[in-house]
Structure 1
Amino acid sequence: MATINTFRNLFFTVVVVLGSKISFGQLNTRQSIAYCTSQIHKTLSQLPADSVKNIPRSILSGQQQWQFINYQDWCSGFCPGILWYAYEGTHDQKFKTQADKFSRELTPLSTRKAFDHDLGFQIFNSFGNGYRLTKNPDYKKIILASADTLATLFNPKVGTILSWPRPVPNMEWPQHNTIIDNMINLEMLFWASKNGGDKRLYDIAVSHAKTTMKNHFRLDYTSYHAVVYDKETGKKIKGVTHQGYADDSMWARGQAWAIYGYTMCYRETKDPLFLDFAQEVTDVYLQRLPADLIPYWDFSDPAIPKAPRDASAAAVVSSALLELSTFTKDKIKANTYRDKAEQMLTSLSSVQYQSRQKNSAFLLHSTGHKPNGSEVDASIIYADYYYLEALLRLQRLQKGLNLRNALK
């Protein structure tokens, strides 16, 4: 243990960026989690009376008020998920009550026809975390029903789940499209297959992950945002980027979804193919980061270093790296992943990236959909979700606890 700590202390160095110093040291997770819970209290005091559109999604650059959504929005599961994490970190019953309330608003998603692939983001982040912490049987029923609904979008001729069952620009509807974000939704299928659901859900998740591995990545392991397939033959038509800079660019959040998704696939299957691939997609991401480890929204934007950052991608990757570090067989590489994750969280926890008095979110400087000019340099709810998740994971590791017990 002394050797590992010595390595870590040496690894956390001071780097100079544009004349300013960024200091990396062991993060005080208790303090950072307390900051998050104080921000949550601020947000809860600002909720609208409107019961139809009352779920926080984003705070635009320079503003202080949340933009609110209803349960149908793809981001609707992150707020209840944050509340469940706050309950996990504090055991405060107020957070549990609010988490249950916001989760139950999403119940209709489990019974209606699938509108898109985002059911994992919506249901598993809310009811999934709720069931993990409470074992409420009502939550389990909703998760299982939602997994069955998500599975209706699977096309066996292609081998993946349809992401957008509706016209979307450049997707050649009605051909089959799959986006890299969908990797995250596989977790709900894996869980359902092991907790009373149809065993076929496991096979669907594996098929989706392997088909995506084959068709979604370039030779350098960078990811397309979307791949369009012939819905009848399963043949790949093209790889494109819907939210990134260009079709051949590395969109930061898309690569983050890949890192997180394939790490999770290894956890659920123990297939070394997924572990090796998770490391490949991770390494190309880490190699191209700026000094503070918070990526620009797209690694290929020619406006860099004046391009917007994406704190949400950093939050997703930091959480994934903490888990990946526990699986990686090479100890030096495992330590590097752990250290990089802590450095990312240290940057995110700094005055440059925490919202603090600017608004009641946790983080600033996330980028949603820059080509559309949507949520650019904003505070976005999914950045906060993965930031708090990563802090809770790191806290467990700092205490020498098994991370597996904290996973859904």
Structure 2
Amino acid sequence: MALQQLIIVGFTVLSIGFNAQNSEKKMSELIQNEFQFAENQYKYLMKAIPEDKMPQSYKASEGKVITKDISWWCSGFYPGSLWMIYEQTKDPDIRKEAERTLSLIEPNKTFTRDHDLGFMMFCSFGNAYRITKDPKYKEIILTSAESLSTRFRPGMQAILSWDKMADFKGPVIIDNMMNLEMLVWASQNGGNKKTEEIAIAHANTTIKNHFRPDYSSYHVIDYDVNTGKVLGKKTFQGYADSSAWARGQGWALYGYTMMYRFTKDEKYLNQARNIAKFILNNPTLPEDKIPYWDFNDPKIPNVPRDASAAAIISSALLELGQYTKGDEKKNYVETAQQMLINLSGEKYHAKLGENGGFILMHSTGGLPLNSEIDVPLIYADYYFLEALKRYKDWYL
């Protein structure tokens, strides 16, 4: 090889190495800054909520933080976020608030009225136990898993999401994949072995019935509870029954990536990879990678974004990168990085003391329900913080 070519190759290698180091440094600084911001911002949030409620969103027109009772499906995200912030900053006031809110929601451990107990109790007590190893937190998780398992219906081989409603006989929503994490974790950490069997059965039933040929997911599958016959493939929060509701695709991606983590069953990994392909190659995914609220809304681009979907997807992609190699892994990690950088930017990120104390702006809860449109949402913050932690732990 000629000297000139050697010099060019040498400079190219140095340039790549320098750019990689520079990128790592920038992400390290971004993550450190974000957790410091979250610590300060949540001190505003904690002052704005009643002692017996959990923060959910913010109504800017009234300057009012929207709060919910502890039985609301999102009650675990605030304490979970506090624990992740404490883990990074060690602020005693943040820990004190995290412990207070755990005490508040502990009665949920026997809650059996819907499927959301994983969100409520594993996002909260799961993080608390991971960080502190306090055995009382573990016992609460094991009890919660037993409670959730009571919603399993053998006839349909799935966990019933909601009880019978006017429009649904046996509804199972894609969101339910997220609640399987608590069931498998509990089984593998001293709990009832049947809870993992239930989680696997539910995941397999969902693969069979929830997905279209392009690996996009329906929101709701309605079953005959006794026979498992599919009665309908519907939506509750998406644009249409046939559309790909953005947050639902995030739940699916996260759920199957997580199930592969626990079981090492290749079918779950392949399912996650195909869901990722649908999301990342979708022609309506914006250049900044923050999805519109539904991939199939015909009014795109004149529709709301969903920062919560981006936060969930970025966190899931970072884990999927742990189980893949080469260009595929690079694509997942770089896309997640782009999402995190953009969520940290002015367009989607609050300023200190604003946005009701929430971190992210521009999430969409239920547009067809005229609910939580273009607002902060507590679970957007939670998965954003989780994605930042995952990036720090796995890629720095």
The TM-score with structure 2 as length reference comes to 0.91
Q: Give the gaps of 5 or more residues in structure 2.
A: 1-11
Query: Which residue number in structure 2 is paired with residue 402 of structure 1?
Result: none
Query: Which residue number in structure 1 is paired with residue 107 of structure 2?
Result: 108
SS at match of 2:42: helix
After TM superposition, give the deviation of residue 60 of structure 1 in Å. Answer: 3.0
After TM superposition, give the deviation of residue 47 of structure 1 in Å. Answer: 2.7
After TM superposition, give the deviation of residue 92 of structure 1 in Å. Answer: 1.7
Counterpart-to-counterpart distance in 2, 1:45 and 1:93: 16
After TM superposition, give the deviation of residue 64 of structure 1 in Å. Answer: 3.6
1:218 to 190, 208, 212: 212
Q: Residues 30 and 395 of structure 1 are in contact (CA less than 8 Å); yes or no, is this contact kept in structure 2? A: no
After TM superposition, give the deviation of residue 8 of structure 1 in Å. Answer: 11
The one-letter amino acid of 1:160's match is A
Q: Residues 308 and 367 of structure 1 are in contact (CA less than 8 Å); yes or no, is this contact kept in structure 2? A: yes
Query: Which residue number in structure 1 is paired with residue 338 of structure 2?
Result: 343
1:183 to 173, 177, 184: 177
Q: How many residues are matched?
A: 377
Query: Which residue number in structure 2 is paired with residue 302 of structure 1?
Result: 298
Query: Which residue number in structure 1 is paired with residue 320 of structure 2?
Result: 324
Write the deviation string for residues 190-233 of structure 1: whole angstroms up to 9, x where unpaired. Answer: 01101111111111000100110110001110000010111111
Matched, 1:164 2:162: yes
Counterpart-to-counterpart distance in 2, 1:4 and 1:102: 50
Question: Over the residues paired in the alignment, what is the CA RMSD in angstroms?
Answer: 2.1
Q: Residues 311 and 348 of structure 1 are in contact (CA less than 8 Å); yes or no, is this contact kept in structure 2? A: yes
SS at match of 2:364: coil
User: Which structure: larger Rg?
Assistant: 2
Write the deviation string for residues 240-264 of structure 1: whole angstroms up to 9, x where unpaired. Answer: 1110000010100000000100000
Q: Residues 164 and 171 of structure 2 are in contact (CA less than 8 Å); yes or no, is this contact kept in structure 1? A: no
Query: Which residue number in structure 2 is paired with residue 38 of structure 1?
Result: 40
After TM superposition, give the deviation of residue 34 of structure 1 in Å. Answer: 1.5
Note closer, same or farther for the CA distance 1:259–1:122 as it changes in structure 2 (3 Å cut): same
Query: Which residue number in structure 2 is paired with residue 334 of structure 1?
Result: 329
After TM superposition, give the deviation of residue 26 of structure 1 in Å. Answer: 4.5
Query: Which residue number in structure 2 is paired with residue 93 of structure 1?
Result: 92
Counterpart-to-counterpart distance in 2, 1:251 and 1:261: 15
The one-letter amino acid of 2:38's match is C
Query: Which residue number in structure 1 is paired with residue 6 of structure 2?
Result: none
Query: Which residue number in structure 2 is paired with residue 16 of structure 1?
Result: none
After TM superposition, give the deviation of residue 108 of structure 1 in Å. Answer: 1.2
Note closer, same or farther for the CA distance 1:276–1:5 as it changes in structure 2 (3 Å cut): farther
Query: Which residue number in structure 1 is paired with residue 57 of structure 2?
Result: 58
Query: Which residue number in structure 2 is paired with residue 18 of structure 1?
Result: none
Query: Where do residues 277-292 of structure 1 align in structure 2 (5 Å cutoff)?
Result: 277-288=271-282, 289-292=285-288
The one-letter amino acid of 2:44's match is K
Query: Which residue number in structure 1 is paired with residue 244 of structure 2?
Result: 250
Counterpart-to-counterpart distance in 2, 1:35 and 1:370: 29
Q: Residues 61 and 379 of structure 1 are in contact (CA less than 8 Å); yes or no, is this contact kept in structure 2? A: no
Q: Residues 8 and 339 of structure 1 are in contact (CA less than 8 Å); yes or no, is this contact kept in structure 2? A: no
1:315 to 290, 294, 311: 311
Query: Which residue number in structure 1 is paired with residue 257 of structure 2?
Result: 263
2:16 to 6, 22, 25: 6
Query: Which residue number in structure 2 is paired with residue 234 of structure 1?
Result: 228
Q: Residues 250 and 313 of structure 2 are in contact (CA less than 8 Å); yes or no, is this contact kept in structure 1? A: yes
Counterpart-to-counterpart distance in 2, 1:176 and 1:7: 55
After TM superposition, give the deviation of residue 170 of structure 1 in Å. Answer: 2.4
Q: Which 4+ stretches in 1 moved above 6 angstroms?
A: 2-5
The one-letter amino acid of 2:138's match is K
Q: Residues 60 and 377 of structure 1 are in contact (CA less than 8 Å); yes or no, is this contact kept in structure 2? A: no
The one-letter amino acid of 2:16's match is T
After TM superposition, give the deviation of residue 5 of structure 1 in Å. Answer: 9.1
2:120 to 106, 119, 122: 122
Write the deviation string for residues 74-93 of structure 1: whole angstroms up to 9, x where unpaired. Answer: 11100000111111111222
The one-letter amino acid of 2:150's match is T
Counterpart-to-counterpart distance in 1, 2:375 and 2:341: 19
The one-letter amino acid of 2:331's match is T
